[in-house]
């Protein structure tokens, strides 16, 4: 594929926004209702220059790779094949009870970013938050304080393009934190290889475990069940305020104390996950293997009334140093965990990787576009971890999706224009 527009039309775009960062004169990110954030040309007839070519090279929709498939010094060798580089792992939570409660699990991502900014002298943290004017859509933010980070704590199960504002890290006076999905971090790593200033300013990358990005259409369906017309939405949360937390929304005119909410099982399990973009079904990295630090939910334990727990992985020496400094400072309350906690917390990962190999193989066998992965083993997982029925589903099921989604055809990408309230500009 010669352009990121072709990547998007073939439904391989992750929506990260790195292309808009690398080629801002040629590419802009926009919401497409049924698909997610997608690159659109700034000028319809533009052919693109050097930045547009770099955008394709750094596109995680095209492919993701580790520099090596072998465990490096200090890594836990037994985890490398299925979990990527892991030096240390812990379970725990943010010492600050307000951050712990607001976060989706234990508040570790928010607390660690705040520690980097307030204690280590980093310039800020680039992350995602809800748009003030359209709270069910996302925007990239550069937070410079605990208060700003806390205001955006909690998962956002909706399209997001944090990489489109990597210029804010590049232009910062000192190193900064980047927070994003595994594909966002992969894009950031690739962009740093072609933008030396960005590489200098990346102080720490934090990825959160991810099961896929639902389209905006998924959020609108959730809002409909909560009886919140999009034009009247004043706030939308997907998780947090407890563990795992409830999806919540409010609308114009709601009296104080109104609780429009549904459980995580309802919001994610019954609605949002059905709207995940196609590229997420072809993802081999759900746990942020290219990040310095990765954070997820320890689902092996019941949540109950627990205010929140996080599973924390140090993937690089830098990540390990920052986490251990935060523990010493009393910012994070973490207990070392054994390697088997990963499989217990994410029991379906091995089968998921195997299924991805079956899907990618089927797409290539039928001449369709598919991402390329290097040093992210999948074929062995397909052979060892999947039952015969699961093997058939990963291949024959992909053929059915190929027909149903018409994956051989470029899809139109009409820009979504959110409805505006009377007197409001969007």
DSSP output for 158-180: S---GGGGTHHHHT-SS-EEEEE
Q: Classify residue 258 as exposed, middle or buried by CB count within 10 Å of its CB (0-12, 13-18, 19+).
A: exposed
Kindly report the pTM of this predicted structure: 0.95
281 vs 196: CA distance, rounded Å = 32
Helical ranges in 195-278 per DSSP H: 196-201, 216-225, 264
Cβ neighbours for 4, distance < 8 A, ≥ 6 positions apart: 13, 19, 27, 39, 52, 55, 56, 59, 61
Give the start-to-end residue ranges of the domains of the chain. Answer: 83-215+276-345
Q: Output the six-digit token pair for 42.
A: 């700034």
Could you tell me whether strands 310-314 and 233-237 are parallel, antiparallel, or unpaired per DSSP bridges?
A: unpaired
pLDDT tens for each residue of the chain, 426 residues long: 789 999 999 999 999 999 999 999 999 999 999 999 999 999 776 666 778 899 999 999 999 999 998 889 999 999 999 999 999 999 999 999 999 999 988 999 999 999 999 999 999 999 999 999 999 999 999 999 999 999 999 999 999 999 999 999 999 999 999 999 999 999 999 999 999 999 999 999 999 999 999 999 999 999 999 999 999 999 999 998 988 899 999 999 999 888 899 999 999 999 999 999 999 999 999 999 999 999 999 988 776 678 889 999 999 999 999 999 999 999 999 999 999 999 899 888 878 999 999 999 999 999 999 999 999 999 998 999 899 999 999 999 999 999 988 888 999 999 999 987 765 666
H or E stretch covering 181 = none
CATH code, residues 83-215+276-345: 3.40.640
């Amino acid at each position: 594929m010669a352009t990121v527009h072709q990547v998007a039309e073939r439904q391989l775009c992750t929506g990260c926004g790195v292309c808009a960062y690398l080629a801002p004169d040629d590419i802009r990110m926009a919401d497409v209702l049924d698909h997610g954030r997608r690159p659109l040309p700034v000028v319809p007839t533009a052919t693109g220059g050097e930045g547009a070519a770099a955008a394709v090279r750094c596109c995680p929709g095209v492919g993701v790779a580790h520099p090596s498939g072998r465990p490096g010094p200090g890594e836990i060798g037994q985890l490398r094949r299925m979990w990527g580089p892991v030096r240390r792992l812990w379970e725990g939570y943010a010492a600050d009870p307000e951050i712990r409660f607001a976060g989706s699990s234990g508040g570790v991502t928010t607390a660690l970013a705040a520690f980097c900014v307030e204690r280590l002298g980093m310039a800020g943290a680039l992350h995602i938050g809800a748009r003030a004017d359209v709270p069910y859509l996302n925007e990239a933010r550069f937070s410079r304080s605990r208060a700003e980070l806390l205001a955006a704590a909690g998962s956002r199960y909706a399209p997001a393009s944090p990489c489109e504002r990597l210029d804010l890290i590049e232009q910062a006076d000192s190193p900064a934190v980047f927070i994003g999905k595994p594909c966002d971090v992969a894009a950031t790593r690739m962009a740093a290889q072609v933008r030396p200033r960005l590489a200098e300013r990346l102080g720490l990358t934090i990825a959160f475990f991810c099961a896929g990005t639902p389209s905006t259409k998924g959020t609108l369906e959730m809002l409909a069940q909560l009886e919140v017309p999009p034009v009247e939405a004043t706030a939308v949360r997907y998780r947090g305020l407890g563990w795992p937390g409830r999806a919540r929304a409010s609308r114009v005119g709601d009296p104080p104390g109104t609780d429009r909410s549904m459980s995580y099982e309802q919001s994610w399990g019954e609605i949002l996950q059905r709207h995940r973009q196609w590229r997420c079904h072809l993802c081999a990295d759900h746990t942020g293997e290219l990040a310095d630090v990765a954070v997820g939910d320890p689902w092996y334990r019941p949540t109950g009334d627990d205010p929140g727990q996080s599973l924390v992985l140090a993937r690089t020496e830098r990540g390990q140093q920052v986490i251990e400094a935060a523990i010493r400072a009393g910012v994070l309350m973490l207990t070392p965990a054994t390697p088997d906690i990963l499989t217990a917390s994410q029991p379906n990962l091995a089968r998921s990787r195997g299924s991805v190999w079956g899907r990618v193989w089927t797409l290539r066998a039928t001449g369709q576009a598919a991402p390329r992965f290097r040093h992210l083993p999948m074929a062995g997982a397909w052979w060892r971890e999947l039952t015969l029925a699961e093997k058939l589903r990963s291949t024959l099921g992909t053929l059915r999706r190929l027909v149903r989604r018409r994956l051989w055809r470029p899809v139109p990408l009409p820009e979504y224009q959110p409805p505006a309230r009377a007197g409001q500009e969007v």
